[in-house]
């Protein structure tokens, strides 16, 4: 893959770049957010790895500008800002994943590979659709049967995961990792609670069930 690395710590950037090259990827390393924005418009990248605290424009502003320009480059935020609010800000800005420093390189590589496997979304495909559900990624707007759904950030992210995995079962662990950045089962009902809230907005006003429970496995979108 062709990877955009935006990191102003030269020593860390060299470490990441060499590891990615050893894994068979090509890397463009840029230290300035403004320069990275220009490069993202003119170059074709498969994944972006972006620090939040960088010169020029900061990482959040960089990704927001990319989304405003309809650039659907999958982005992994790699940063020392690891609080819950920091992660939420990153995802709301348009990031696809969030990894905090210090990190294990195999995990970074696995997350980059996972982002690279996602189908490319460009131009008009910035809208995800299933049945009468429509999600505009650029505007972060969701409608069903033409009615706007008022989703909280985590509800939005959960629905986006289902829309990107149409026809496939989404497990509880997948949701914990992608929505809450939790890589183990904390034995709480946080997933079930948010699924219930999403169903109240996605199904209840329309009198049907579209988000089905697959017993012993997880959940999936299913109009049948």
Check whether 119 has a pLDDT greater than 50: yes
Maximum average pLDDT range among 64-73, 81-90, 178-187, 209-218: 209-218
Select the more confidently predicted residue: 115 or 51: 51
Element holding 77 (H helix, E strand): strand 75-79
118 confidence band (pLDDT: 50, 70, 90): low
Domains of the chain, earliest start first:
2-116 (3.40.50.2300), 125-221 (1.10.10.10)
Antiparallel, parallel or unpaired: β 218-221 and 141-144 = unpaired
Contact 86, 59 (CB under 8 A): no
Question: pLDDT (tens digit, 9 = 90+) per residue, 141-193?
Answer: 899 999 999 988 889 989 999 998 887 888 988 888 888 877 777 778 889 99
Does residue 20 have a cis bond before it (omega within 30 degrees)? no
State residue 58's pLDDT score.
92
What average pLDDT is seen over the chain?
87
**71 to 25, 64, 218: CA distances (angstroms):** 21, 10, 31
Count of other CB atoms within 10 angstroms of residue 116: 15
Question: Could you tell me which of 22, 201, 52 has the C-alpha nearest to residue 211?
Answer: 201
Instruction: Judge whether residue 218 has pLDDT over 70.
Output: yes
The string of pLDDT tens digits covering residues 77-114 is 998 887 888 888 888 888 888 988 899 999 999 999 88
Global pTM reads 0.54
Tell me the three state secondary structure of residue 129. Answer: strand
């Amino acid at each position: 893959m062709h990877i955009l690395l935006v990191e102003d710590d030269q020593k860390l950037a060299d470490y990441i770049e060499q590891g990615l090259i050893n894994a068979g990827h090509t890397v463009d390393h840029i230290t300035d957010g403004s320069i990275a924005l220009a490069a993202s418009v003119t170059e074709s990248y498969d994944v972006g790895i972006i620090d939040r605290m960088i010169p020029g424009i900061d990482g959040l502003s960089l990704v927001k500008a990319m989304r405003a320009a309809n650039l659907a480059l999958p982005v992994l935020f790699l940063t020392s800002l690891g609080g819950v609010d920091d992660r939420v800000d990153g995802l709301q800005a348009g990031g696809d994943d969030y990894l905090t420093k210090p990190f294990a390189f195999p995990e970074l590589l696995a997350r980059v590979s996972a982002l690279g496997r996602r189908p490319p979304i460009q131009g008009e495909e910035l809208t995800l659709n299933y049945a009468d559900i429509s999600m505009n990624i650029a505007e972060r707007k969701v409608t069903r049967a033409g009615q706007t759904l008022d989703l909280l950030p985590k509800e939005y992210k959960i629905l986006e995961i289902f829309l990107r995995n149409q026809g496939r079962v989404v497990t509880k662990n997948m949701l914990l990792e992608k929505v809450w950045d939790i890589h183990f089962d904390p034995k709480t009902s946080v997933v079930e609670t948010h699924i219930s809230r999403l169903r109240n907005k996605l199904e209840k006003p329309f009198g049907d069930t579209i988000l089905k429970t697959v017993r012993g496995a997880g959940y999936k979108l299913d109009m049948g």
